[in-house]
Chains A and B, each alone.
Chain A
Amino acid sequence: MTELWRLTLVEAGQGLRKKEFSALELVEACLERLKATEPLVDACLTVLEEPARRRAAELDAAGWDPQKPLWGLPLTLKDVFCLSGAPTTAGSRILEGWKPPYEATVVKRLKQAGAIIVAKTNCDEFAMGSSTEFSAFKPTKNPWNLQRVPGGSSGGAAASVAARQTPGAFGTDTGGSIRQPAALCGCVGLKPTYGRVSRYGIVAYGSSFDQAGPLARSAADCALLLAATAGPDGLDSTASLHPVDDYVGAAEKKPGELTLGLPRELWEGDFAPETGQTLDEAKRRLTAAGVKLKELSLPSLRFSVAAYYVLASAEASTNLARYDGVRYGRRAPGPEDLRDLYVRSRTEGLGPEVRRRILLGTFVLSSGYYDAYFRKAAQVRRLIQQDWQAALQRCDLLLAPVSSVQAWPLGAFIDDPLTTYQLDMMTLPLNLAGGPGLSLPAGLGADGLPVGVQLLGRAFDEAALLAAGRTLERLLPPVGEPPLAA
């Protein structure tokens, strides 16, 4: 029998159902793999070893349950999801020591579906960053090359899945934070439509963008995780009432039935040589298989980076106002007065990228600047939404690169925020448009690092997106397992 940690979610689910192994055996295998790889990749912030074992034993005692589609499956959660009783830091010192008194809707639904939470994964502080280097605790390393970043902000989740610590993970995507690390680590990442999955209990960054979604090793695995979590939630007024489709059973399409639109604005930039070559090869393979590729133009996309950083930072600046040292989390010791308590708690507790975005967001909302920045950016967002809808009337789905570069060396851009922001160019338009996107491995570059492509779809049509994803997975070269000397 193969090592249990090598199984995908679908494979592991089948094994559990057929009682080839128990939930506890699977969890033990994952915990063992996690312990072996964690010193190399630093993907996790908290490992819930004992609770995971207990939960597995409970499930085994109760027996396999057809009502629980994730029965016995070990998962990780990005450390922005509130899991009652376990530390939830969002990668920030300011939340050190805080344990949520309640549970996120996503977590409740995963547990109800029978999943076992094994660890909380590392991320950029408050999900702000593209490399996980802005975690206040430690940088996570890319399993394909330990000197490289895993991407971010859900870098811990992607590295953990790539390192086979667990077969699936939940992350969040505000500006690409699921899709980009999935691409850089060679796994599959789904950003559902805004409002498809409840935001309740997820530490907020940019509230009108934040969306939870799965990372795993196949589109089918992502479908399984989406199906268990999607749908309306009385606790989140922005969760959509749109009906939930059958993501798991959606029929796969034949390559010849697919027309994919290629937004020129996302394909014509400068690509790193290995990235460009891998993407060209991917397009060639798709065309050869009969997929129709059709170039399109969405002129408003060139404003994406500016619009996103204005809007998301504005929301972040007030979402993070609550971290003041008064009620929970880190409080500076011995403050002289109230102002000193605020200033020192926040200065000591919040890192450079978070401070940068709070300053930016505060500025664009200030009296006298609101119209020039916030209002203008909101108008751009509507333009992008219109362009998006128009483009999707001319094809089934859009196809775009996820990143113009592969995983970069740790520290390469740490002091260069503008370059890092520009690197988000390919993922941000989807968040501004609000629709769903699926990041898939497109192959390994000549340098041995994964390259990704993303399928971008119509709002609430995750079923079509995942079905096309399954088609593309068969046509694109598999990336395999990272050469981790665990």
Chain B
Amino acid sequence: MVDLEAVIGLEIHAQLKTKTKLFCACPLDSGAEPNTNICEVCAGQPGALPRLNAKAVELAAKAGLALGCQVNASSLFARKNYTYPDLPNGFQTSQVDPPICLGGVLEIAAPDGPKTVRLNRIHLEDDAGKCVHDEKRGKTLVDLNRAGTPLIEIVTEPDLSSSAEAVTFLKKLHELLVDLEVTEGRLEEGEFRCDVNVSLRPKGASRLGVRSEVKNLNSFRFVGQAIDSEIRRQTGLYRDGEPVLQETLHFDSASCATRTLRSKEEAHDYRYFPQPDLPPVQVDEALLAALKASLPAGRELTRERLAGLGLGEEQIRLLLDRRGAVEHFDQTVAAGGEPKRVAGLMAELFLPACAKAELSPASAVFGPAGLAALATLLDEDQLGRRAAFVIFDELFSTGDDPRDLARRRGLLQISDAGALADLAAEVLADHPAEVEKYRLGQEKILGFLIGQLMRRSGGAADPKGAGRILSDLIKAGQ
């Protein structure tokens, strides 16, 4: 049998982080009693009309900017018609042509190396309510609190080829949108959910196979399992020479398998047409400029910037993974710390201490100024690495000045060239025999001379500097 490859595309629904619903002033509150956060607009009462939440438009445009989309100056809402008890108007208000954002990309670290996943579009739409099935009373009840909740739907091109890639992509997208405060992204609340489209084709073929769509997955694990299950099922069909049917599937997490929700014949004809109750959605230049300015650098840009400062991959990862770490790093560098040294200190000492104390970087009493001072002591060889480890816990818990503490502990090294040179001259004058041996090529004897110098300095001299100065003086005396 020919080798098959999977072609996967995703449709992600993310709930926007607004205070109110997309088309009315009702609050978004997932914990409220059923049907308390509703009004005539979101409950579909006759005669009520929608009015667009400007914050939702901003957040959708912001997501588009961060994902490299083209943000349209004017886009349109459309009615997507279907009937279900939790859909109060009998249509969903969504966008078709043009949506608020087109195109875009997201780079991911796929198992076989970096991969660019293209986005098709981002559009705005409202969420439906919920049906609650009351088994005891044998009734289905409708709760419209969620109806009218603002969502963006992000549609990818079919650029993914495995469950691992899809999950990597989703995690990265989730992290980005949460960081941007476009969404709260609480998966357990359904604030970030995904439909996956899966098809198979002979490896290397350009034509797409028939796809199936698995709806409404609200955990990364389920996405992975659903894709794997679909690939297994479709592979089986290919092996048996059976056709793959275009259908919509439901993933049952208990059995880890998909089952048919509706076939192609039963697919809805949504009868999209322009929503006459809403004028075009405008995103003007001023708003775009303001959004661009407000955009935090974004993870990818931050990664590039940190790499440009010479930080190692592992250090970058550690900084990116902890909320507030990059900001703390930047403040420390601004306070005079050398970037690589600061990153090393944060990775080895500061961040682990934060984790242990369950503190965010910003709330640690040992602030950026202290960390910068510590980095400088190390850089200038006034403090040894081992000494830094010894005093760090105390610094972290008290917020003391590193130089003061090091001095009090007698750990400060003399690396001042003048002071060292005086001591070195004394040592050389007291040990002419050893100096002579060194001159004749017995370089190991330098260690003895350094030891003498260290003793004279009371252990405060920087041994590296001392060695350099001693050998320089001997050579100069020839």
| A interface list, Cβ under 8 A from B | 80-82, 88, 90, 95, 98, 100-102, 104, 199-204, 207-208, 234-238, 314-315, 317-318, 320-322, 324, 326-328, 338, 342, 362, 365-367, 370, 374
Q: Please list 26 pairs of residues, one from A and one from B, whose beta carbons are closer than 8 Å in the complex, sorted by A's number.
A: A82-B46, A82-B47, A88-B46, A88-B47, A100-B40, A100-B47, A199-B49, A200-B49, A202-B47, A204-B46, A204-B47, A234-B51, A236-B51, A237-B52, A237-B278, A238-B278, A318-B91, A322-B44, A322-B88, A322-B90, A324-B83, A324-B90, A327-B43, A327-B88, A367-B269, A367-B271
Contact indicator B46/A237 (Cβ below 8 Å): no
Contact indicator B271/A102 (Cβ below 8 Å): no
Q: Which residues of B contact A320 (CB under 8 A)?
A: 90
CA distance A366 to B81 in the complex (A): 10
| B interface list, Cβ under 8 A from A | 39-40, 43-52, 79, 81, 83, 85, 88-91, 142, 269, 271-273, 276-279
Could you say which of B46, B52, B89, B90 contacts A98, with CB atoms under 8 Å apart? B46
B53 to chain A, nearest CB (A): 12
Contact indicator A321/B89 (Cβ below 8 Å): yes
**By DSSP majority rule, is chain A's interface helix, strand, loop, or mixed?**
loop
CA distance A297 to B117 in the complex (A): 57
Q: Which residues of B contact A81 (CB under 8 A)?
A: 47
Contact indicator B79/A318 (Cβ below 8 Å): yes
Contact indicator A321/B81 (Cβ below 8 Å): yes
Contact indicator A365/B271 (Cβ below 8 Å): yes
CA distance A461 to B89 in the complex (A): 34
Contact indicator B81/A326 (Cβ below 8 Å): no
CA distance A367 to B45 in the complex (A): 28
A203 to chain B, nearest CB (A): 4
Could you say which of A200, A237, A324 contacts B279, with CB atoms under 8 Å apart? A237
List 12 extra interface pairs beyond A100-B46, A238-B279, CB under 8 A.
A101-B40, A104-B47, A237-B51, A317-B271, A318-B81, A318-B271, A324-B85, A324-B90, A327-B44, A328-B45, A366-B269, A366-B271
Contact indicator A102/B45 (Cβ below 8 Å): yes
CA distance A404 to B50 in the complex (A): 38
Contact indicator B89/A322 (Cβ below 8 Å): yes
- If A315-B276, A362-B271 touch, whether A237 touches B85 (CB-CB below 8 Å) is no
Q: Which residues of B contact A238 (CB under 8 A)?
A: 49, 276-279
Contact indicator A203/B271 (Cβ below 8 Å): no
A379 to chain B, nearest CB (A): 13
A200 nearest in chain B by CB position = B49
A87 to chain B, nearest CB (A): 12
Contact indicator B277/A326 (Cβ below 8 Å): no
Could you say which of B48, B81, B90, B272 contacts A102, with CB atoms under 8 Å apart? B48
B41 nearest in chain A by CB position = A235
B86 nearest in chain A by CB position = A326
**Max count, chain A CB within 10 A of own CB: residue among B91, B142, B273:** B273
B23 to chain A, nearest CB (A): 9
Contact indicator B46/A322 (Cβ below 8 Å): yes
Contact indicator B90/A318 (Cβ below 8 Å): yes
A287 to chain B, nearest CB (A): 41
A257 to chain B, nearest CB (A): 37
Contact indicator B276/A207 (Cβ below 8 Å): yes
Q: Which residues of A contact B50 (CB under 8 A)?
A: 237
CA distance A234 to B52 in the complex (A): 10
CA distance A322 to B128 in the complex (A): 13
CA distance A93 to B40 in the complex (A): 21
CA distance A392 to B81 in the complex (A): 38
CA distance A95 to B46 in the complex (A): 9
B85 nearest in chain A by CB position = A326
Q: Which residues of A contact B46 (CB under 8 A)?
A: 82, 88, 90, 95, 98, 100, 203-204, 322
**Max count, chain B CB within 10 A of own CB: residue among A199, A200, A322:** A322
Q: Which residues of A contact B51 (CB under 8 A)?
A: 234-237
A239 nearest in chain B by CB position = B49
A209 nearest in chain B by CB position = B276
CA distance A374 to B49 in the complex (A): 23
Q: Which residues of B contact A95 (CB under 8 A)?
A: 46
CA distance A318 to B47 in the complex (A): 13
Per CB-CB distance, the 8 closest pairs between chain A and chain B, nearest first, are A321-B90, A365-B271, A207-B276, A208-B276, A201-B47, A203-B46, A322-B90, A102-B40
B76 to chain A, nearest CB (A): 13
B50 nearest in chain A by CB position = A237
Q: Which residues of B contact A203 (CB under 8 A)?
A: 46-47
Q: Which residues of A contact B91 (CB under 8 A)?
A: 318, 321
